[in-house]
A and B are shown apart, each in its own frame.
Chain A
Amino acid sequence: MTDVTLSPALAEPDRKVISPRREVWLAMRGNKGAMAGLIFILLLTFAAISANVIAPNNPLLTDTTHLLAPPVWQDGGSWAYPFGTDAVGRCLLSRVIFGTRLSLFIGCIVVTLSLFIGVSLGLIAGFFRGWIETAVMRLMDIVLALPSLLLAIVIVVILGPGLINAMIAVAIANVPHYARLTRAAVLNELSKDYVTASRVSGAGTLRLMLVTVLPNCAAPLIVQSTLGISSAILDAAALGFLGLGAQAPTPEWGTMLADSREFMERAPWVVTIPGLAILATVLAFNLMGDGLRDALDPKLKR
């Protein structure tokens, strides 16, 4: 995290100017952790997109002749089921691969949803001060007073268990972070001259909001979104584990853990493998989020 090299623009002032995007990329490239995270995320994305092709078996197909078959690196394992099978004889590797598709999908949808709601609320609070701002920010405080998992549970209780409802619940629970960040950034930008200039030249509120100010608030939002994907995946898996998220045959990692819990003494791999998948994915997004923060905001660099 600390070995971010100075971008060449700073090191050699006489070289030609580098675009901000390129500067971020250079800073990221010097950060080994962030690059490891990025590469892993790219691998996951590839696995998610081509799940149909690379998964050796159908993730839902049960093979009653191979119940709890061990993974290939253990005695009795075979290449037919490289990660072994679960209690009803489903291929664990295929389930983990299809779970990748599901988890990335959850992460992206949840973040998009909470980003959209949060940014809208933040923009409204930042632009229309007064009672609107107070109302919005108080509402966010209320949502923040509950731990995100507990709030998600409450929402799932209202909506009923299931993957879609769990995603909505996690998205709502995460809205305050984006709303607060956006409002803070908006308030900071609004005092700057370029906004006044734009206002004077006749830009309407909507144009000021979306075209003038919002792009300049992007940096913290990008960082928060990356970190948000990891917490969304984690929370959705936790809901799945509690039986409130994706339901049984769906190859969702948390649900897989809950399903195979009772077999963990006889067949540890049914528990270790899906959990490792969650940990590695969440870690990758956190590494990249940390790297992005260091690259985008030198002030926050630790």
Chain B
Amino acid sequence: MLRFVLSRLLLVIPTFLGITLLTFVLIHLVPGDPVQLMLGDRVLDPTRHAQILHEMGLDQPLYMQFLEYVWHVLHGDLGHSIVTKQPVLTEFLTLFPATLELSICAMIFAVVIGLPAGVFAAERRGSIVDHLLMGSSLTGYSMPIFWWGLLLILVFSVQLHWTPVSGRIDVDYFFDGGTNFMLIDALRSDDEGAFRSALSHLILPAIVLGTIPLAVIARMTRSSMLEVLGEDYIRTARAKGLGNLRIIGVHALRNALIPVVTVIGLQVGTLMGGAILTETIFSWPGVGKWLVGSIFSRDYPAVQGGVLLVATLIIFVNLMVDLTYGLLNPRIRHRR
């Protein structure tokens, strides 16, 4: 097991270095003079220009710049945002809870609906219900979520006035020194209105972000269940006279879940990609919206740091999924 863990850890290092190189190159490939790009249209005299270039270390040879960049990254220094002058890491960490809260709720939504839908469809294979469920899940899988979000806003916010259009909570509520997880902060404030407000702000973005994972989970659960239901031990269980519910719930589902859990883990990338769109539509103050904003304000250090952090997060989660899978399944662990 130790060997397995170590080999997987070693595999992560080149990937991480590659991502660092990619984000480093990002700034250097942007056409034009970096200093002028960051300053926009302002005119700068040549001495000040050289000074800034020197301050940013951009007058050094490229490999020195890269080594310095890696050194800083390893020390948690991702540079400062040009717009807010704040350290990029601090900005990211302040905004990340919003994205995390949204992603967790989206995932809960996806699992709570996707799993039963997949099991149900597998159990009634070939029936109208199966076709309907799989048809809708393929539709969900094909969904342009930026449009789906607008559509939901149109129906539930604009026409029915059930949910607010944007943000995380009404402006009336403010939590000082909270966890930055709105639902938790609102619960702790003992103000029922605050919790209701936070929940009503969260529900549409979570549905939008959860739609594609939901579809993937439903399809995966169905195919995995079908495979397991064809196994001999299920026939044995049936022959023993066990009830259908027990066979499905206890015997089949447990084995069918292994690939599903992997798929759930691998949805983290989808979630982060989707968060960019979802947060933009709902003005959700998270990492995705910040990243898009940074691109438009040409805040390259922020883009660089943000991309690096998101990629690192995904690499880390994928590693965890890999390790868990190895832990659950000895066949993976002992391969090679």
Contact = CB atoms under 8 A, between A and B. Distances in A.
Interface of A: 1-3, 33, 138-139, 141-142, 145-150, 153-154, 157-158, 160, 230, 234, 237-238, 241-244, 254, 257, 261, 264-265, 268, 271-272, 274-275, 278-279, 282-283, 286-287, 290, 302
A288 B15 CA distance: 34
Interface of B: 14-15, 18-19, 22, 26, 29-31, 125-126, 130, 134-135, 138-139, 141-144, 146-148, 150-151, 153-154, 158, 222-223, 226, 269-270, 272-274, 276-277, 280, 291-292, 295-296, 303, 307, 310-311, 314-315, 318
Nearest to A283: B142
Given A146-B307, A154-B307, A242 B22 contact: no
B133 to A, nearest CB: 11
A195 B291 CA distance: 49
Contacts of B134: 1
Nearest to B29: A158
Contact of B146 (A2, A139, A158, A241): A241
A149 B147 contact: no
A153 B151 contact: no
Given A146-B314, A147-B270, A272-B151, A230 B303 contact: no
7 contacts: A1-B134, A149-B277, A154-B307, A254-B146, A264-B153, A275-B147, A302-B226
B315 A264 contact: no
A244 B295 contact: yes
A223 to B, nearest CB: 15
Contacts of B141: 286
Most chain-A Cβ atoms within 10 A of its Cβ — which of B134, B138, B280, B303? B138
A238 B144 contact: yes
A61 to B, nearest CB: 25
Given A138-B18, A238-B277, A150 B146 contact: no
A282 B314 CA distance: 26
Nearest to A257: B147
A234 B144 contact: yes
A25 B154 CA distance: 42
